[in-house]
Amino acid sequence: MYLACTIGWCIEWIQAFYIILDDIMDNSHTRRGRPCWFRVSEVGLIAINDGILLRNHVSRILLRQFKEKPYCDDLTNLFTESECKACSGQLLDLIITHEGKKDLTRYDMTMYRCIVQHKTAYNSFYLPVACALLLAGENLDNFSKAKNILIEMGTHFQVQDDYLDCFGDPELTGKVGTDIEEYKCSWLVVQALEHADENQRSILFENYGKSNPTCVSKVKGLYKKLNLENLFHEYERESYSKLIADIETQPNEAIRNVLMSFLHKIYKRNK
């Protein structure tokens, strides 16, 4: 139990590291209902060093607590791979939203899934389960199908996040959505581009990625006109049904139970 808790804290710390730096890069204001760490007056850009410190502690803790375990190399490699994927996803996210290089024609479902699966799905959904499997003495190569399910679950989670960024209640989500202003490759804008006619696409191209409240309002109005709220709920139902079906094909009961538990925690969430 002690080692399981240790890994749990390592995962939380590396997530905190990502969040601290992500908020700085996105120039965000709130996170989980409170000011972002770098927005705290006595912290500022010291937050960058705080994030790096958290990340370095993870490596030290893993080495100190697991160096005698037969799975130590697999565990450290898993964290390294997770971090590499997260940073690659973040880089792609930053590159396509960079000021002066904005081009909505690059926003499609292929690009979206690539960003999401690297930036969110792997480290938030696969990493915790993979760590537990290593602790149990399992070979990760034997659980490739479970890995794919977890990656899809992470994608489902991010689509929800994108929906809540625009249509969620900040009192519940704990943050004010800024995907439109920040020119994010979100599920909503990808769907809008797929379903919009030429005039509606012009509205997107003229207003998306601008912080002017009027521009933001026009984009949100277009989302409503395209019935993206209903489209999201349809996606959520279909994705949930497919995930259930995929989970039920897993031969290992313990794995099925874990996957079902994960899915039920995120289905129809509002924050």
The pLDDT, as a whole number, for residue 208 is 97
Encoded amino acid at 269, one letter: R
Mean of all residue pLDDT scores within the chain: 95
55 shares a domain with 170: no
Q: What is the mean pLDDT of residues 128-141?
A: 96
Contact at 8 Å (CB) between 149 and 243?
Answer: yes
Residues 34 and 111 in one domain: no
Distance from C-alpha of 36 to C-alpha of 46, rounded to nearest angstrom:
12
Q: What is the CATH number of the domain that holds 126?
A: 1.10.600.10
Taking 90 as the threshold, does the pLDDT of residue 48 lie above it? yes
Residue-wise pLDDT for 84-132, tens only, equals 999 999 999 988 887 666 889 999 999 999 999 999 999 999 999 999 9
The answer to whether 238 and 176 are in contact (CB under 8 A) is no
What is the predicted pLDDT for the residue at 175? 80
Structural domain boundaries enclosing 230: 88-266
Q: Answer yes or no: is 73 within a domain.
A: no
Prediction pTM value = 0.92
**pLDDT higher than 80, residue 246:** yes
Examine residue 83 and state whether it is found in any structural domain, yes or no: no
List pLDDT tens digits, range 51-81. Answer: 999 999 999 999 999 999 999 999 999 999 9
What is the tally of structural domains in the chain? 2
What's the Cα-to-Cα distance from 32 to each of 15, 29, 251, 271, rounded to whole Å?
14, 10, 37, 9
Task: Indicate whether 60 belongs to any domain.
Answer: yes
Q: In terms of domains, do 226 and 101 share one?
A: yes
Same domain, 242 and 126: yes
41 burial level (CB within 10 Å; 0-12, 13-18, 19+): exposed
pLDDT digits (tens, 9 = 90+) for 196-242: 999 999 999 999 999 999 999 999 999 999 999 999 999 999 999 99
Q: Are residues 157 and 229 in the same domain?
A: yes
User: Region 135-140: what's the mean pLDDT?
Assistant: 96
What pLDDT sits at residue 30? 86
Domain shared by 110 and 54, yes or no: no
Residues 251 and 130 in one domain: yes
Query: Is the model's pLDDT at 33 over the cut of 90?
Result: no
Does residue 76 sit within a domain?
no
Q: What is the pLDDT of residue 69?
A: 97
- Alpha-carbon gap, residue 270 to 168, rounded angstroms: 7
- Residue 82 covered by a domain: no
pLDDT of residue 98: 72
Same domain, 129 and 193: yes
Task: Please check whether residue 181 lies inside any domain of the structure.
Answer: yes
135 in Cβ contact with 3 (< 8 Å): yes
For residues 259 and 194, membership in a common domain is answered with yes
Residues 120, 160, single domain; the answer is: yes
